[in-house]
Amino acid sequence: MQSTGTSWEAPGCPYHVEFAADKLEKIRLAVVESFYAMPRGGIEIGGLLFGTRDGERLLIEDYRIIECEHKTGPSFQLSEKDQARLSALIAASPSESLGWFHSHTRSEIFLSADDLAIHDKFFPKPWQVALVLRPANLQPVRAGYFFRDASGHMAAEKSCREFVLETTVREAASRQAPAPVRDAPKKPVVAAPEAPAAKPRVIQPEPEIAPALENNRGAAWVWIAAVVAALALGLGAYVTRAAWLPAQASPPALKLQASEVDGKLFVRWNPVQNESGKLTIDDGPKHIVIDLDTLQMSRGFYVYGRQSEKTTLQMKAGASEDLTTFAGPSPPHIPTPEEIENVKRDHQKAKDDLRNQTLRNRQLQRKVRELSNQLQEQKP
């Protein structure tokens, strides 16, 4: 019985799940990148699973990321706006939804109460499954499917058969590798026949071309007039292009937003495909310009550690541009190694001063006792 990501079945599951290996690898990369996006668990993501169903066989062939504004933090919890977008995404899909996936970065592989509510609301059909992925530091991604049994019940406490997703992709690639090509048997070398001797070339006298040029002179003027007319038409079309060219669609809005999550500034925007961008940050006296590649722009978020009460962020990607400002209490100051060294040095100096002062006090006390004894001896 198989228990891998590309081919999976388990006891009690009435369906055999198959997953396109290249799409599964892209999901794994997206989950891992979001996991390392910020400290202490990163950001959880999710998406729809699409494909075909043939009886008890589910073939997952594609996926779409579910937009989540992370209104309550880095966990994958869908707000009302997120759920409305999810409904529209399901309705607009040309193929059948076989379920969904999401990552758990701070908990184990199971379905929470919120996960079950999402599954029952948007994936009520008996064959629709849920895939939970669990990334970890310097470890492969673990995963597990969840399904409804024959009675319609879904065991949410844990997956009945987990698997390691990274190993699964390697095995799938090895199964799909072409067979080695064997060396073809060598054929005997056959000498090419000798080429026949070249015949002597007979040079013909050149015809007179002056009469031909004289006869074609009129046709040449016709061609010149046609070229001039075409250039005139092209120039006129270029000058009046604003009147007949279709209006270009305006680029999609970035909708730049910023909120604080786990002491960090979580910057979000509408994901941009196949376009690099630039994020400019004015954080108090600091002015920072960050170049974002196409992969970072497609993620739709960036994490920044602010240092002042007011932070202004400006993003530009192609023809789109947006600006937002975040204001809040100053974050706690994190001392630099130099500041920590200075504090240690001051602390050691204070200890040395205290020790020296204690020695001086003891010396003074001893002198006081000696003087007191001398006075007692001098009394009659």
Burial of 290 (0-12, 13-18, 19+ CB in 10 A): middle
Per the domain annotation, does 306 fall within a domain? yes
Q: What is the mean pLDDT of residues 175-191?
A: 46
Per the domain annotation, does 289 fall within a domain? yes
Considering its fold, how many domains does the chain have in total?
2
> Which CATH number is 123's domain given?
3.40.140.10
Query: Which of 153, 175, 197 lies at the terminal end of a domain, its last residue?
Result: 175
Same domain, yes or no: 12 and 146? yes
Answer yes or no: pTM beyond 0.85: no
**Which band of pLDDT confidence, cut at 50, 70 and 90, is reported for residue 171?**
very low
> Which CATH number is 284's domain given?
2.60.40.10
Same domain, yes or no: 155 and 282? no
Main-chain phi, psi angles of 145, to 5 degrees: -95, 150
Query: Which of 160, 175, 190 lies at the terminal end of a domain, its last residue?
Result: 175
What are the tens digits of pLDDT across the range 90-102? 998 888 899 999 9
Same domain, yes or no: 158 and 285? no
Same domain, yes or no: 161 and 271? no
Can you tell me the distance from the alpha carbon of 145 to that of 370, in angstroms, rounded to the nearest whole number?
88
Burial of 332 (0-12, 13-18, 19+ CB in 10 A): exposed
Same domain, yes or no: 168 and 291? no
Per the domain annotation, does 235 fall within a domain? no
Same domain, yes or no: 278 and 164? no
Same domain, yes or no: 170 and 262? no
Per the domain annotation, does 293 fall within a domain? yes
Same domain, yes or no: 28 and 168? yes
Domain extent at residue 320 = 257-327
Query: Which of 327, 342, 366 lies at the terminal end of a domain, its last residue?
Result: 327
Q: Are 318 and 250 in contact (CB under 8 A)?
A: no
The predicted structure's pLDDT at residue 39? 75
Per the domain annotation, does 216 fall within a domain? no
Which tops the pLDDT comparison, 173 or 91?
91
Per the domain annotation, does 337 fall within a domain? no
What are the tens digits of pLDDT across the range 244-266? 555 555 566 888 988 876 667 88
Same domain, yes or no: 24 and 148? yes
Per the domain annotation, does 230 fall within a domain? no
Can you tell me the distance from the alpha carbon of 366 to that of 373, in angstroms, rounded to the nearest whole number?
11
Per the domain annotation, does 53 fall within a domain? yes
Same domain, yes or no: 149 and 265? no
Same domain, yes or no: 166 and 312? no
Which tops the pLDDT comparison, 1 or 28?
28
Same domain, yes or no: 39 and 155? yes
The predicted structure's pLDDT at residue 21? 92
